Structure 1
Amino acid sequence: MYKILEIDPYLKPYQDDINLRMELYEKAKKRLLSSGQTLSSFANGYLHYGFHQTDNGWFYREWAPGADSLSLKGDFNGWDNHSHPLTAQQNGDWEIFIPGKNALPHKSLVKVHVTSKGSEFDRIPLYINRIVQDPHNNNSNGMIWAPEEEAREVYKWNVKAFSLSTTEPPLIYECHIGMSSEEGKINTYSEFMDNVLPRIKKCGYNIIQLMAVMEHPYYASFGYQVANFFSASSRFGTPEELKQLVDTAHSMGIAVLLDLVHSHAATNTLDGINEFDGTDYQFFHAGNAGQHPAWGTKLFNYAKPEVIHFLLSNLKYWMEEYRFDGFRFDGVTSMLYHHHGLGEAFDNYAKYFSMATDTDAVTYLQLANELIHDLNKNAVTIAEDMSGMPGMCIPIEYGGIGFDYRLAMGVPDYWVKTVQTRDEDWDLGKMWYELTTRRPKEKNIGYCESHDQALVGDKTIMFWLADSDMYWHMDLSGSLNIDRAIALHKLIRLVSMSLSGEGYMNFMGNEFGHPEWIDFPREGNGNSFHYARRQWSLSENQNLKYQFLLEFDRAMINLAKTGDMLGLNHKSKLIRLDNDSKIICYKKGDYLFAFNFHMNKNNTIEVPEPKKHRILLNSDDKQFGGFEYSSCELDKARNNISIKLNPRTAIVIKCD
């Protein structure tokens, strides 16, 4: 019996399903790996396929089982469709050797000409590591990226080995390189490194999660319609500049995660992997099964060994070539079920183990996690799964899927609904339930909002709370509505950070209550960059109140980083919950958290606590835009702590 059944006794009726999960995982490894082979040595597709330079020429290889012929073309041969044909090998492989070390010069443009079932068309090589778009016609080409060793383009790593501290919880700053500039433009890797990384370091976050790095033709897709899986987006700069960004983050003690999209792919054929060999089933399910009904994207067939090889090789490539420290897997719910989670409530365990479950996808995720942690035992993997699949963050040998964390996706949904109701209607009992309920022994990344909650058509928490007053009353004179919004913004972040996970995540700019929403340049907004940027100067303007939210976030993150409170073994212990007075008080280890969510009532909380105490964080402090009423005193006669809280304030106390 696998240990997951002891961890979660409610799974015992589904023991056969857990056994099947593990049986399929073991069978997949036997099917994929030859004698003595490891997943790491298996996942070397990028070292074989694609372009590889030797002392006397270039090898170019592809996997295209449905093609009748392939020919390499580019500016090196005058874009001739037929002068450089590839030779068919076994199992759908194709190969050509082009003599001459400089036969394919650095930065030369290439495509592959394919014939299949009577049709001819051009495609981008599958394993190409750089794509460039022609700004005049949006036509894309592969680019040979092979700078000479002596050239300035070759990046020399400064940090030889990096590992995130195991004593700190993951404190994640979710980033989009392109929209990280205050100017109305697409920002670069280098500009992000110079101007944004220092801000993140000062805020105390120890992980950055980079979105939209994998090449995507449509900028407004936020990077979630990937076309070229081995190419870092050329919109933001060169491969060496991305490497320098990662290297610099490591030198600051900051780990770097890649927002990974293996759940689906762009439908693009001219500049993507779709129909590369002329079939719709090379990488994806054939017909309607290969189409995501809501996203309009292509769905991988995880049952095919070649697809598993491609995807696992992709993971190893990003870890080895760019030294990413792990991945946030996007769209895991869509992967896990044939219905992709659409319209499902997941209100009982049977729904996780029905015919709707894509067991091939479950197996792939297990293999992916095993590979990642084999390559780097301290790597971090995070699953974006809203279904609550049991065992997502349980070790594989226990019967789990092997992720380190899952995103606490129900928490931001809860806050979006809550901030649209009257303060007096907030149910603290429901708040406690929503923030503390999760699967046993599975770690969560808590957060109250991410990029999802800031997209056009929605609002950030600060914008929900303050609305249009943010345009007119964020100066120091303020308004009652702004004071309310600032106070609640601090409380929401503190209670979410401390209760909803063993780690915490924030989207860039939201730490200081970034105004408005995110909307990328597109035809519908006149191709404007106005909402696809970050107004950092707002937080630096001493005449505006954004500075108070930034200071509070820095103090909160520093507390989470230095205080031992977010570990899996530090359970939240409820001390007092009074919904009428809007008081909630709880302990985590030696840390006492006290909140007053009441709109106008001063509250005093008496806590039996004979130990010495120190106030570590007080949201009512002046430096955080507070009014300095809230306090904490030791009542020796009554042997307790008396905590006085202004309306909409919170205090964190360390009991020594």
Structure 2
Amino acid sequence: MEAVLNKAEAIKLLEIDPWLKPFEYDIGLRMDRYSAVKRALLGDAPNLKAIANGHLFFGFHPADGGWYYREWAPGAQALNLIGDFNEWNTKAHPLNKKENGCWEIFIPGEDALAHMSRVKVRVKANGISRDRIPLYIKRIDKDSGTGDFAGQIWQPPEPFRWTDGDFYVDHSRPLFIYEAHVGMSQEKEGIGTFKEFTDNMLCRVKANGYNTIQLMAVMEHPYYGSFGYQVSNFFAVSSWMGTPDDLKELINTAHSMGITVLLDLVHSHSVKNFAEGINEFDGTEYQFFHSGSRGDHPAWDSKLFNYGKHEVIHFLLSNIKFWLEEYHFDGFRFDGITSMLYKHHGLGVAFDNYKKYFSMDTDLDAVTYLQFANELIREVRPDAVTIAEDMSGMPGMCLPIEYGGIGFDYRLAMGVPDFWISTLRKCSDEEWSMHRMWHELTTRRAGEKNIGYAESHDQAMVGDKTIIFWLADKEMYWHMAKGDNSLHIDRAISLHKLIRFITMTLAGEGYLNFMGNEFGHPEWIDFPREGNGWSYKYARRQWSLAENRNLKYEYLYAFDRDMISFAKSYNIPGTGYATNLWIDERDKIMAYSKSGVVFLFNFNPSTSFTQFGIPVEEEGEYRVVFDTDDKRFGGQSRIARDIVYRTTRLPEKGDKPGIIIYSPSRTALALEKV
């Protein structure tokens, strides 16, 4: 124990957050576990990149004079490859058992397995034979007549030609992330494709100023309505939306436009399915997952990986390397981190003190795996980006591993959308707390970067509401025409702009928006299911609303585009913390400075202040460079852009230097020093 304590004393995480001092031993234990498991995994290999090659050995690989097919199935009694190439003969192509639970067959003939051949493997275990999909298959084919899923050989005669060799992620610029689901990205009542996204959406993302897209539901999932979070085949591109080459074309084109592409990576759990997934592939429940109740997620009805098993670590690390190298993804948003980190999965737990991060409920194996994942990603792509979806606030999540951290670049500021929804649900406009708003938008762990967002896909699902729907509700159906004067809609549009603007400027070192929310897409997301007659009506994006010059959606669309442009011009998210200049709880006013820009927000529902004094840090002359009241954004153009404001002393605010300016109700403005 003494050696661990001495090691922990040198961990920089403790210097960054002194509140962790009582948990010195726990953090030392974290680092000892990381070092010991890494030594065992590597053996004589120089690094994780050298061993994360399962996808290069297992699965289907052309070779001189034929094809190799290999699987890892230690609990199986027999494996037989079947497919249309052998007329689904269950005895023609038996695999031979090798060392360490590996199985192998060489199929002579370079044309023995043709491109797009359908294949399965019959696995005999415990005396029972099941037809399964190969673990490392790159594509799944669903028979439109029978609904039967099978693996599909993907080996086109002409390999895809990449042209993005000089693309890299510039970490000096903030991320403006466009979270997107390819299938529901089109206006048609059906499933959008990778090709349609490339043709119709990338130009939209670029024009709106976003420099990063975060693609959901890319990994194969049998149930479309799972939003891609019930993954069945970890090396396969979602067959719902196109082919592997279609996805490569999307990413290659995005790179040519200067757009970073992140994969929404699901390593937190796996679908239970036998026919489509990896569950009990070799006949044992413990091949990939924990045994017994620990292997089942009580809320998601899915299987939970055993991160303490070296073969599982190898499988998942190889998966990461595969997506980076095969598809040129620029990084990952890791889904469900909280569920991974704790044996209780964060369900019903309030993380209100540090003891809850370092208890018997913490899964140290998962912590170690996440450290390995981040280390491997940097070895393969030093410029890659990693984002953690963790609602618990685990200390060190976004600090380097050598500091005692877990190694992510960013964490999602998940408390921010929760704050906004709670405020909209529970508080009248007069009850909004400026101090609580400042606290929720600015409080984060020292040295750890956040992606701020007001809402993501989570808030758009059936059972919840988007911000615009909380604000406008059914009035959106009747009063969004520009000629329709509705105080209810005016309020909704004004607050929608204020919420997004203050979130973007305060809540993180990057910013995220879910597609369509930027213009206040109406209603919710409801995927086809029995309860809605298998309709796609609510699983699409109605871009025509934003582009209709007669509707008020155009105001919000223009505002979002100009807000992003303004933020990039002044590097707003990229400059860290803001300075609180003034908060007035009674009048619902907040002022702060960031990146040399002074911001003034008036959340008052009825009062405009004709002579409001804003304290500033530097004396001089100021002018308005951006405001939410512009007519192009559905405002009343009450804020002058052509006036230069000279500082004066503000006796009512401690005789601080400041400027006197008109602050209309429910508006925000930004000033720069001339």
TM class, shorter-chain normalised? over 0.9
Quote the offset at 1:633 in angstroms.
Answer: 4.5
Paired with 2:146 and 2:35, the residues of 1 have a C-alpha distance of 48
Q: How does 1:83-102 map to 2 (within 5 A)?
A: 83-102=92-111
The Cα offsets for residues 467-487 of structure 1, whole Å up to 9 and x where unpaired, read as 111111111123111110000
Equivalent of residue 126 in structure 1, options 135, 146, 149:
135
CA contact (8 A) 1:633 1:641 kept: no
CA contact (8 A) 2:622 2:646 kept: no
Letter in 2 for 1:556: M
SS of 2:438's equivalent in the other structure is: helix
Paired with 1:188 and 1:399, the residues of 2 have a C-alpha distance of 42
The Cα offsets for residues 334-356 of structure 1, whole Å up to 9 and x where unpaired, read as 00000000111011101100000
Quote the offset at 1:636 in angstroms.
Answer: 5.3
Q: How does 1:510-525 map to 2 (within 5 A)?
A: 510-525=517-532
CA contact (8 A) 2:388 2:411 kept: yes
Aligned residue number for residue 499 of structure 1: 506
Aligned residue number for residue 640 of structure 1: 658
Paired with 1:37 and 1:93, the residues of 2 have a C-alpha distance of 24
SS of 1:235's equivalent in the other structure is: coil
Q: In the alignment, does 2:58 pair up with 1:52?
A: no
Aligned residue number for residue 19 of structure 1: 28
Equivalent of residue 353 in structure 1, options 351, 358, 364:
358
Quote the offset at 1:134 in angstroms.
Answer: 1.4
CA contact (8 A) 1:607 1:642 kept: no
SS of 1:40's equivalent in the other structure is: helix
Letter in 1 for 2:536: F
CA contact (8 A) 1:346 1:387 kept: yes
Equivalent of residue 42 in structure 2, options 33, 50, 71:
33
Aligned residue number for residue 271 of structure 1: 276
Q: In the alignment, does 2:258 pair up with 1:253?
A: yes
- Residues 1:636 and 1:120: Cα distance change in structure 2 (over 3 Å): closer
Aligned residue number for residue 191 of structure 2: 186
Q: In the alignment, does 2:592 pair up with 1:606?
A: no
Letter in 2 for 1:370: E
Paired with 2:471 and 2:424, the residues of 1 have a C-alpha distance of 7
CA contact (8 A) 1:634 1:640 kept: no
Paired with 1:248 and 1:315, the residues of 2 have a C-alpha distance of 22
CA contact (8 A) 2:613 2:658 kept: no
Aligned residue number for residue 480 of structure 2: 474
Letter in 1 for 2:149: S
- Residues 1:636 and 1:115: Cα distance change in structure 2 (over 3 Å): closer
Aligned residue number for residue 487 of structure 1: 494
CA contact (8 A) 1:168 1:562 kept: no
Aligned residue number for residue 320 of structure 1: 325
The Cα offsets for residues 587-630 of structure 1, whole Å up to 9 and x where unpaired, read as 11301111000011012233344233332211011111110112
Letter in 1 for 2:582: R
SS of 2:44's equivalent in the other structure is: coil
Q: In the alignment, does 2:610 pair up with 1:590?
A: no
Q: In the alignment, does 2:135 pair up with 1:112?
A: no
CA contact (8 A) 1:630 1:643 kept: no
Paired with 2:385 and 2:432, the residues of 1 have a C-alpha distance of 35
Aligned residue number for residue 222 of structure 2: 217
SS of 1:98's equivalent in the other structure is: strand
Paired with 2:116 and 2:45, the residues of 1 have a C-alpha distance of 39
Paired with 2:620 and 2:62, the residues of 1 have a C-alpha distance of 68
Q: How does 1:323-402 map to 2 (within 5 A)?
A: 323-402=328-407
Aligned residue number for residue 204 of structure 1: 209
Paired with 2:334 and 2:292, the residues of 1 have a C-alpha distance of 25
Paired with 1:512 and 1:298, the residues of 2 have a C-alpha distance of 37
Letter in 1 for 2:592: Y
CA contact (8 A) 1:129 1:231 kept: yes
- Indicate the larger mover: 217-226 or 420-429: 420-429
CA contact (8 A) 1:633 1:643 kept: no
SS of 1:381's equivalent in the other structure is: strand
SS of 1:234's equivalent in the other structure is: coil
Letter in 1 for 2:665: P
TM-score of the pair, normalised by structure 2: 0.95
Equivalent of residue 169 in structure 2, options 149, 153, 164:
164
Q: Percent identity?
A: 60
CA contact (8 A) 1:336 1:361 kept: yes
Quote the offset at 1:361 in angstroms.
Answer: 0.2
Quote the offset at 1:366 in angstroms.
Answer: 0.1
- Residues 1:258 and 1:217: Cα distance change in structure 2 (over 3 Å): same
Aligned residue number for residue 538 of structure 2: 531
Aligned residue number for residue 442 of structure 1: 448
- Indicate the larger mover: 29-38 or 265-274: 29-38
What runs of 5+ residues in structure 2 fail to find an aligned partner?
Answer: 1-9, 650-656
SS of 1:241's equivalent in the other structure is: helix
Letter in 1 for 2:368: T
Paired with 1:55 and 1:69, the residues of 2 have a C-alpha distance of 26
CA contact (8 A) 1:74 1:111 kept: yes
CA contact (8 A) 1:610 1:641 kept: no
Paired with 1:485 and 1:605, the residues of 2 have a C-alpha distance of 27
Letter in 2 for 1:435: L
Aligned residue number for residue 150 of structure 2: 141
User: Which 4+ residue blocks in structure 1 deviate beyond 3 angstroms?
Assistant: 635-640
- Residues 1:570 and 1:288: Cα distance change in structure 2 (over 3 Å): closer
TM-score of the pair, normalised by structure 1: 0.98
The Cα offsets for residues 334-384 of structure 1, whole Å up to 9 and x where unpaired, read as 000000001110111011000000000000000000000111111110000
Quote the offset at 1:160 in angstroms.
Answer: 1.5
What runs of 5+ residues in structure 1 fail to find an aligned partner?
Answer: none
Q: How does 1:547-566 map to 2 (within 5 A)?
A: 547-566=554-573
Aligned residue number for residue 432 of structure 2: 426
Paired with 2:576 and 2:124, the residues of 1 have a C-alpha distance of 61
Equivalent of residue 585 in structure 2, options 579, 582, 587:
579
Aligned residue number for residue 4 of structure 2: none
Letter in 2 for 1:525: N
Paired with 2:348 and 2:43, the residues of 1 have a C-alpha distance of 41
CA contact (8 A) 1:521 1:529 kept: yes
SS of 2:513's equivalent in the other structure is: strand
Letter in 2 for 1:449: E
Equivalent of residue 541 in structure 1, options 541, 544, 548:
548
Paired with 1:395 and 1:25, the residues of 2 have a C-alpha distance of 13
Paired with 1:652 and 1:138, the residues of 2 have a C-alpha distance of 56
Letter in 1 for 2:506: L
Quote the offset at 1:637 in angstroms.
Answer: 5.7
